[in-house]
């Protein structure tokens, strides 16, 4: 039986997606984005939500104002403002940044403090004693104002390596001044799990609650966090989806799932843990960062099985091949359709979608068809709706809603009031031909307008269809502007969301194919199963 | 000083990108792809390259044939064929799959064997003794044929937990039959680093060389691998970029860099280690999987600095903020341009590109311009060339090559022999107006043809420009088909590759903007610096 440490009486799950996570390259969060993310973190039930650095940038200041004005009603979590210790040679009570922290009106304030002597000398350009005074003065002032104060000890592990006595002095000074938790930060992410214990033990001697903040530069952010917890840390910092500067922060979802499912600690309620997949996707949608399909626990592929070897055995017992039950984290076991797939996978996938393809010959034909299409560049793994349409066609179950006879689109650099593009779509519905013109911003929008116009009389549902996401990927890099592109379109009718794929050298034609299939799937009757 | 174990005399870096890595959802490798990846692995100097499962699928069989026919000349690595132990109740000598392993003509063969009693009963549907006989018989037969044999002990850690005696019996039987290395596989990826030592120690008692094969389902694949090495494993399996089924395998790049840079073990030559960034990008290009910008050591963002807080201090001493020297792994330290960037970042970025923007007022103006453009959806972090053009315009250094007066493009579902799209581009060069028509497959290709045609007389270089990659991303999800899209185009002239960005509701217009900037940048004279 593997070693499982005893859960501490008090355990903090501290999210810094809105502050440290927002440091990620290409990430930009509006106040509205931050409010939405904070709400889903509160739903998940993290202990603390670090909202940003008031006073350091207008965006963060505006976020805390919005929160204080009642735009953010937290039911489970506490809001934290992040800042630094007061300026060299100044006074906390008169430091404008310290005042900004108070004005953020949060119950908790986290202060970043230097704990590596070289950083005190070369970045702060002051003495080791003045750095300690800055910590002590700022912590005392803020606790005196009735705030709970946590200390982020920056570069703590390198600092301990270079000058252990001083690093520990920083911990002691923080604790003596009234800091509730001292967070050991592996700021440059260079640590390994085997190296955590010694340092955390030493800090533990000071006798203050310890936290851990890790970055993923050695690919060990989660493992380093767990190692610190094994050594006694009772406060873990991280970000949703591991967002953060450089290689990112510890993924709080993975840390939480590991502690709850592998250690059996009841940190959040089981039904809250089952929300982490939704939380992960919500944050991905808000940040516009493509979700990592291989993300532990919550990734789209995290419980997806492909290899023919497994597929047959999975029929016997799924738990032989899964390290945990995907439903615990709100994810699903999935069978994949792919050109590596044997008939077994196609049959399982068919059952999953509610179709009976137990007939071996029929299943083999469909498998060949899938392989052929994937050789052309289609990918059904990413487009379940397109696969279902292919399945229906093969099984003779496809419904004929409309036939497209012709389409054409014009676009240019002249902006009209209804757009810069015009499309003509000619369709036949019940033997009756309709030709409709669509105008729009961009050719896809113009085609969409024309198609909806042509369909809505007969199929009112078509008007409810909305595009959620649109991705274009060039298939053969280096091939030039006439390369083959794959287009994926996610569409929704408000309740369901589905994905279709289109392929071609013409990005518009490929987009049209995906759009056309999205309409076909959206209009068709769901399968029995 | 952190604990560093002594390096073993013999250490194996075993790559399974071509076999286990190829199990990743959405991944498809042709024989040609596999040959190209194997060559770059050989350049990197891994000890073993597992090429696939001969006999299990035609693609892998063809790969080994191509390799045997001399299409793959390995200078540093040894090729490995993967397969399973012989069928229940059969004989290795007459098992078709075992024969296929011999016909692959590799010096090394790795056999997957069951080591978890429940898998023997429920997946193999045989007795524990027959499973041992299958291992012994197959290993003896293949070693008898002069092959080195490694055993992948499947589900070893769960197996040890369920029935330690039997799991160890599998190790002993393999060793007694002549297996050189027994690889402990965490097949479902559920292990944590703190749990590795006990199991590895127990297996070590058998007295055979041990290997480790980890999956990333708890986000600890790299850490679990290192923990097994700490406990005595001398053979690490993994994949480039951590490709693999579900959450993927241990990223061999991260494992190698950690052992070489953190433990100081000389596993590959320093100049080989400096190739890992190139290897990672080459594999990403071949697999068509978007590189993970946050990948440890080799990711585009792995050494990128954004926060204004750091930017100024980094001027003082970069090593204060980096856990290792990026050049050791062939990567670079980068300063990011972003709406979070202060003037300091913009100035550093300018210097990096060879422009002097020490003038504070000018730098502030440029910073404001960048913020404004990024608010519209542009991202200069991803498009250095567009940023340089913006910089040149602001500094009055931009060269006027041509002026676009008008463009228009038609596309539809009728395929002509020269394409399905026609474009007109009207440009003015040196006061002279040229109007050219381009035909092509897709509107971008047609526009590209027309533009090249209009420019080549005056600027022959234009003909050498080729599109390398083309990415489209919708900016505001859920906004419908008239949403704002961001287009990134990578272009090359054979020696240099550069990226430009375009933004708009019209995917073609945004593509045109990026294409137009790509031509402008490609034609302009490089900066002094």
* CA dihedral sign of residues B281, B283, B286, B290: negative
Identify whether the C-beta of residue A174 lies closer than 8 Å to the C-beta of residue A200.
no
Q: What is the pLDDT of residue A485?
A: 83
- pLDDT value at residue A144: 98
| In chain B, domain spans | 12-287, 304-375
What's this model's pTM, rounded to 2 decimal places?
Answer: 0.77
A340 has a pLDDT exceeding 80: no
**Residues linked to residue B88 through DSSP beta bridges, in sequence order:** none
Name the band, by pLDDT with cuts 50, 70 and 90, for residue A128. Answer: very high
DSSP 8-state class, residue A462: G
Q: Report yes or no: B304 at the A interface, CB cutoff 8 Å.
A: yes
Task: Find the closest chain B residue to A296 by CA distance.
Answer: B217
Does the beta carbon of A340 lie under 8 angstroms from any beta carbon of chain B? yes
Biggest CA–CA distance in chain A, Å, is 88
Chain A, chain B: beta-carbon pairs less than 8 Å apart = 388
pLDDT of residue A529: 41
Interhelix angle A507-523/B443-455, rounded to 10 degrees, is 170
Rounded to an integer, what distance in angstroms lies between the CA atom of residue A526 and that of residue A521?
9
Distance of alpha carbon A22 from alpha carbon B228, whole angstroms: 34
Helix ranges (DSSP H) in A288-421: 308-316, 343-353, 360-376, 384-394
**Quick one: which of B61, B72, B156 has its CA closest to B114?**
B156
Residue A336: band (very low, low, confident or very high) from pLDDT cuts 50, 70, 90:
low
Asked if the C-beta of A62 comes within 8 angstroms of chain B's C-beta atoms, the answer is: no
A16 touches A249 (CB < 8 A): yes
Write down the pLDDT at residue A339. Answer: 47
User: How confident is the model at residue B317, as a pLDDT?
Assistant: 73
Minimum-distance CB partner of A247 among B244, B247, B295: B295
Give the nearest partner residue to A421 out of B22, B414, B506, using CB atoms: B506
Task: For residue B132, give how far its alpha carbon lies from the nearest alpha carbon of chain A (Å).
Answer: 20
Q: Is B481 in contact with A442 (Cβ distance < 8 A)?
A: yes
Tens digits of residue pLDDT in A392-442: 999 988 888 889 898 999 988 877 777 788 999 999 998 899 888 998 888
What was the pLDDT predicted at A250?
A: 98
* Chain B hits for A230, Cβ within 8 Å: 194
Question: Which B positions 109-128 lie with beta carbon below 8 A of chain A?
Answer: 118-119, 122-123
Q: Which two tokens stand for residue A475?
A: 């298939």
- CB proximity A93 to B under 8 Å: no
What are A486-496's pLDDT values in tens digits? 888 888 887 78
Instruction: Tell whether the model's pLDDT for residue A344 goes beyond 90.
Output: no
Contact B395, A49 (CB under 8 A): no
Q: Nearest-5° angle of CA B15, CA B19, CA B23?
A: 120
C-alpha torsion angle, residues A169, A173, A176, A180 (rounded to 10): -100
Which residue among A382, A466, A505 sits closest to B480, beta carbon to beta carbon? A466
Of B411, B467, B509, Cβ closest to residue A480:
B467
Q: What is the 3-state secondary structure (H, E, C) of B96-159?
A: HHHHHHHHCCCCEEEEEEECCHHHHHHHHCCCHHHHHHHHHHHHHHHHHCCCEEEEEEECHHHH
The answer to whether A189 contacts B323, with C-beta atoms less than 8 Å apart, is yes
Q: How far is B5 from chain A (nearest CA, A)?
A: 10
Phi, psi of A307 (to 5 degrees): -55, 130
How many CB atoms are closer than 10 A to CB B416? 12
CATH topology of domain A12-287: TIM Barrel (3.20.20)
Q: Please, which residues bridge with residue A470 across strands? A: A489
Q: Which of A2, A119, A216 sits opposite B320 (nearest CB)?
A: A119
| CA–CA gap between residue B92 and residue B146 (Å, rounded) | 15
Distance from CA of B363 to the nearest CA of A (A): 18
- A133-142, A353-362, B101-110, B303-312: which has the minimum mean pLDDT? B303-312
pLDDT at B499: 87
Q: Which residues of A touch B475 (CB under 8 A)?
A: 288
List chain B residues with CB under 8 Å of A338: 25-26, 28
Check CB contact under 8 Å for B3 and A195.
Answer: yes
Q: Give the gap in angstroms from C-alpha B256 to the nearest C-alpha of chain A.
A: 10
Structure tokens at A420: 């810069």
CB A247 to CB B299 under 8 A? yes
Whether chain A has a CB inside 8 Å of the CB on B216: the answer is yes
A-chain CB neighbours of B444 within 8 Å are 481, 507
A413 to B419: CB separation less than 8 angstroms, yes or no:
no
Is the Cβ pair A508, B411 closer than 8 Å? yes
CA dist B151 and B335 (Å) reads 46
Q: Which of B453, B481, B485, B497 to mutate to test the interface with A (most CBs of A within 10 A)?
A: B481
Per-residue pLDDT reduced to its tens digit, A238-249? 999 999 999 999
Query: Nearest chain A Cα to B30, which residue?
Result: A375
Give the pLDDT confidence score for residue B479 in this predicted structure: 54
Give me the residue from B227, B447, B482 closest to A440, CB to CB.
B482
User: With an 8 Å Cβ cutoff, are A301 and B25 in contact?
Assistant: yes
- Contacts A22 to B, Cβ<8 Å: 340
Which of A2, A412, A468 is nearest residue B408 as measured by Cβ atoms?
A412
pLDDT in tens, chain B (529 residues): 578 999 999 999 999 999 999 988 878 788 888 998 999 999 999 999 999 999 887 889 999 999 999 999 999 999 999 999 999 999 999 999 999 999 999 999 999 999 999 999 988 999 999 999 999 999 999 999 999 999 999 999 999 999 999 999 999 999 999 999 999 999 999 999 999 999 999 999 999 999 999 999 999 999 999 999 999 999 999 999 999 999 999 999 999 999 999 999 999 999 999 999 989 988 887 776 777 889 999 998 999 876 555 566 666 677 788 999 999 999 887 766 654 456 777 888 888 888 988 888 888 889 888 878 877 778 786 688 999 999 999 998 888 888 989 899 998 887 777 778 899 999 999 889 988 899 888 888 899 989 998 898 899 999 999 887 787 877 654 456 667 888 888 888 877 878 899 998 888 889 999 999 999 999 987 764 4
Residue contact A292–B295, C-beta within 8 A: no
Residue A305 has pLDDT above 90, yes or no: no
| Closest A-chain CA to B472 | A472
Nearest residue of chain B to residue A311 (CA atoms): B123
User: How far from A310 is each of A253, A315, A354, A360, B124, CA to CA, in Å?
Assistant: 27, 9, 21, 19, 12
Q: Cα angle at A296 between A275 and B45, to 5 degrees?
A: 165
* Gap between the Cα atoms of A96 and A512, Å rounded: 56
**Could you give the CA distance from residue A248 to residue A27 in angstroms, rounded to a whole number?**
12
Residue of B nearest to A313 (CA): B123
Distance in angstroms (rounded) separating the CA atoms of residues A449 and A425: 9
pLDDT at B504: 86
- Worst-scoring range by mean pLDDT, A146-155, A168-177, B420-429? B420-429
Give how far B507 is from chain A: nearest CA, Å. Answer: 6
Nearest CA in chain A to B333: A246
- Shortest distance, CA B12 to any CA of chain A (angstroms): 20
User: For the stretch A492-501, what's the b/e string if a residue is b when 16 or more beta carbons lie within 10 angstroms of its beta carbon?
Assistant: beeeeebbbb
CB contact under 8 A, A23 and B217: no
- Exposure string for B393-409, b = 16+ CB within 10 A, e = fewer: ebbeeeeebbeeeebbb
CA-nearest residue of chain A to B314? A123
pLDDT the model gives residue A478: 45
Q: What is the pLDDT of residue B380?
A: 80
- ipTM above threshold 0.90: no
Say yes or no to pLDDT of A158 above 80.
yes
CB contact under 8 A, B507 and A220: no
Residues of B in contact with A407 (CB under 8 A): 412-413
Q: Does residue A40 contact residue A253 with C-beta atoms inside 8 Å?
A: no
* Partner-chain contact A2 B161, CB within 8 Å: yes
B493 to chain A, any CB pair closer than 8 A? The answer is no
Helix, strand, coil fractions of chain A, as percent rounded to 5: 45, 20, 35
B462 Cβ under 8 Å from any chain A Cβ: no
Q: What is the pLDDT of residue B478?
A: 45
How does DSSP classify residue A293? T
- Mutant choice from B195, B230, B246, B510 vs A, greatest count of A C-beta within 10 A: B246
User: Three-state secondary structure along B67-108?
Assistant: HHHHHCCCCCCEEEEEEECCCCCCCHHHCHHHHHHHHCCCCE
Q: In the predicted model, what is the mean pLDDT of chain A?
A: 89
Give the CA radius of gyration of chain B: 28
Dist. CA A373–CA A377, nearest whole Å: 7
């Amino acid at each position: 039986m593997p070693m499982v440490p005893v859960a501490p009486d008090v355990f903090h799950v501290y999210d810094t997606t809105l502050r440290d996570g927002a440091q990620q390259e290409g990430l930009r969060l509006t106040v509205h984005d931050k409010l939405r993310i904070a709400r889903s973190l509160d739903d998940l039930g993290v202990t603390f939500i670090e909202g940003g650095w008031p006073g350091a940038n207008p965006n963060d200041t505006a976020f805390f104002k919005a929160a204080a004005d009642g735009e953010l009603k937290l039911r489970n979590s506490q809001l934290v403002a992040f800042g630094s210790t007061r300026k060299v040679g100044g006074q906390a009570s008169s430091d404008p940044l310290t005042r900004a922290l108070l004005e953020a009106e949060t119950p908790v304030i986290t202060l970043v403090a230097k704990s590596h002597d070289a950083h005190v000398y070369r970045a702060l350009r002051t003495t080791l004693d003045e750095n300690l005074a800055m910590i002590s003065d700022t912590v005392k002032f803020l606790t005196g104002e009735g705030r709970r104060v946590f200390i982020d000890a920056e570069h703590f592990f390198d600092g301990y390596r270079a000058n252990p006595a001083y690093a520990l002095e920083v911990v002691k000074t923080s604790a003596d001044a009234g800091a509730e938790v001292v967070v050991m930060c592996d700021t440059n992410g260079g640590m390994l799990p085997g190296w955590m214990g010694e340092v955390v033990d030493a800090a533990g001697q000071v006798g203050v609650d310890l936290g851990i903040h890790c970055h993923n530069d050695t690919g060990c952010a989660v493992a380093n966090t767990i190692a610190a917890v094994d050594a006694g840390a009772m406060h873990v910092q991280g970000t949703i989806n591991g967002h953060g500067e450089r290689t990112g922060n510890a993924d709080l979802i993975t840390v939480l799932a590991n502690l709850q499912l592998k250690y059996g600690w009841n940190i959040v309620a089981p039904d809250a843990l089952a929300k982490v997949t939704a939380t992960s996707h919500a944050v991905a949608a808000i940040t516009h960062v493509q979700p990592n399909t291989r993300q532990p626990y919550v990734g789209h592929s995290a419980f997806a099985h492909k290899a023919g070897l497994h597929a047959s055995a999975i029929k016997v017992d799924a738990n032989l091949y899964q390290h945990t039950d995907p439903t615990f984290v709100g994810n699903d076991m999935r069978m994949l359709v792919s050109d590596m797939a044997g008939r077994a996978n196609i049959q399982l996938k068919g059952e999953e979608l509610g179709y009976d393809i137990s007939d071996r010959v029929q299943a083999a034909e469909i498998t060949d068809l899938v392989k052929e299409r994937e050789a052309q560049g289609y990918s059904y793994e990413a487009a379940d709706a397109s696969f279902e349409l292919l399945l229906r066609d093969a099984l003779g179950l496809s419904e004929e809603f409309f036939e497209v006879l012709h389409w054409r689109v014009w676009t240019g650099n002249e902006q009209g009031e209804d757009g810069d593009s015009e499309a003509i779509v000619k369709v036949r519905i019940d033997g009756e031909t309709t030709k409709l013109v669509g105008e729009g911003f961009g050719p896809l929008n113009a085609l969409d307008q024309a198609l909806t116009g042509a369909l809505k009389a007969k199929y009112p549902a078509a008007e409810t269809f909305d595009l959620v996401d649109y991705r274009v990927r060039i298939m053969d890099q280096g091939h030039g502007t006439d390369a083959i592109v794959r287009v994926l379109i996610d569409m929704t009718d408000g309740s369901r969301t589905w994905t279709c794929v289109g392929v071609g050298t013409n990005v518009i034609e490929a987009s049209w194919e995906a759009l056309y299939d999205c309409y076909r799937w959206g209009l068709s009757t769901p399968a029995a199963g």
